Amino acid sequence: MPYLFTSESVSEGHPDKVADQISDALIDHFLAYDAKSKVACETLVTTGQVVLAGEVKSEAYLDVQDIAREVIRKIGYTKSEYMFEANSCGILSAIHEQSPDINQGVDRQQPEEQGAGDQGMMFGYATKETENYMPLALDLAHKLLQELAAVRRENKDITYLRPDAKSQVTIEYSDDNKPVRIDTIVISTQHDDFDKDDAMLGKIKADMINIVVPRVKAKLKPELQALFNDKITYHINPTGKFVIGGPHGDTGLTGRKIIVDTYGGKGAHGGGAFSGKDPSKVDRSAAYATRHIAKNLVAAGLCEEVLVQVSYAIGVARPCGLYINTYGTAKVGLTDGEIARKVEEIFDMRPYSIEQRLKLRNPIYSETAAYGHMGRDHQVVTKVFNKGKQTEKKVEVELFTWEKLDYVEKVKQAFGL
């Protein structure tokens, strides 16, 4: 019997994502000036206020207030009526030095024996459902909000948008787990205040359905465009007005959107957030590494869908275990356990090896902090830190290295594909 599956996304202006982006901007600045920095930084945002807290071990000295304001400005909180504005919000920093008890479990004389920064389990997932090997519902939810942000910045077709927004997409699947059609699309977008609310709510709904959705659809492959139909149920700003939003409408915290950041509820999640953590924290680095494994396994033709789990003990380099679940889609005559043993031989999952393989000691994290950490485009860019200041620094980096299909041939060779 057909079934429905739903995933959601939130915009860069959502309060939790504002917090994530500030935390990751701090990570990037620390790593740009000291690649050995150890950072765990949390951010809280609320009406007119930003609070920074966490632990840092670094040779770099940062103007954290200036960094936070620049992030807020870039997102679009630049008007006083938002009750949270880049130039006027208060910023309190309670960042202090990292505990030596934690650091002694991570640092080693031999770098490759670097211990895991914490215990826990991390998951990676990939599926043939989309070109970027991501679950379709989440991919569409992200694309809707990325397009909405583009429309907001253009300020041409739609001129009343504010930064905060959420989306949700429900897909109908057939018995053999193939997407059949889009069942429901939900978009809630913050907007300017209006005199005639009823008329404007109608206009917002029409603009989302007739402008934003078609722009997203036009960028998809024909087989995905075919999933759009005249029976889609639309819920556009279903509560009515959405003028009060962002950190003024809801307090935001780093790490509260971990399902949006990963696979939209498909596969599994170990519970650890990413933003604000340097790559010695396996919550982040091992989650990227398991995604890298999963994507390369599916791209190599080993299976159509796969979940990869790795687990660690704090201060110990070698993982406690590696688990593979191909959901019965494996194309080789091996059990999932046997596949896992071979995968362990291909991918070194010690924390230092992950950092080196995926080039994680570079300032590459601000770009991950909105619209998902997985399924993004691998690219090389030049980033500028402290622009126009004496300490200005330009760094060329690779973004989303865990999305590279650079192990496909090794997987094919190992499994005789």
- According to DSSP H, which parts of 208-361 are helical? 213-218, 222-225, 246-249, 258-261, 282-299, 336-346, 351-358
Question: Is the predicted pLDDT of residue 278 greater than 80, yes or no?
Answer: yes
Is 166 part of any known ligand binding site?
A: yes
**Residues, the chain, total?**
417
Domain 3-9+135-245's class?
A: alpha beta
Provide the terminal-to-terminal Cα distance of the chain, rounded to the nearest Å: 33
**For the segment 115-144, what is each residue's pLDDT rounded down to a tens digit?**
887 899 999 999 999 999 999 999 999 999
CATH for 120-127+282-415 (3.40.50.720, 3.30.300.10, 1.10.645.10, 3.40.50.10380): 3.30.300.10
Where do the domains of the chain lie? 3-9+135-245, 120-127+282-415
Distance, CA of 73 to CA of 82 (rounded, Å): 12
Is 8 part of any known ligand binding site?
A: no
**Predicted model pTM:** 0.96
Is 219 part of any known ligand binding site?
A: no
Please report the pLDDT score of residue 65 as a whole number: 95
Is 390 part of any known ligand binding site?
A: no
**For the segment 184-229, what is each residue's pLDDT rounded down to a tens digit?**
999 999 999 987 777 888 999 999 999 999 999 999 999 999 999 9
Question: Is the predicted pLDDT of residue 397 greater than 80, yes or no?
Answer: yes
Question: Is the predicted pLDDT of residue 410 greater than 60, yes or no?
Answer: yes
Is 42 part of any known ligand binding site?
A: yes
Is 17 part of any known ligand binding site?
A: no
- Residue owning tokens 């924290």: 281
Is 273 part of any known ligand binding site?
A: yes
Is 165 part of any known ligand binding site?
A: yes
Vertex 280, ends 375 and 364: CA angle to 5°? 45
Distance, CA of 141 to CA of 126 (rounded, Å): 17
Is 412 part of any known ligand binding site?
A: no
**For the segment 312-361, what is each residue's pLDDT rounded down to a tens digit?**
999 899 999 999 999 999 999 999 999 999 999 999 999 999 999 999 99
Is 281 part of any known ligand binding site?
A: yes
Buried/exposed 229-256: b ≥16 CB within 10 Å, e otherwise: eeebeeebbeeeebeebbbbbebbbbbb
Average pLDDT, the chain: 95
Is 193 part of any known ligand binding site?
A: no
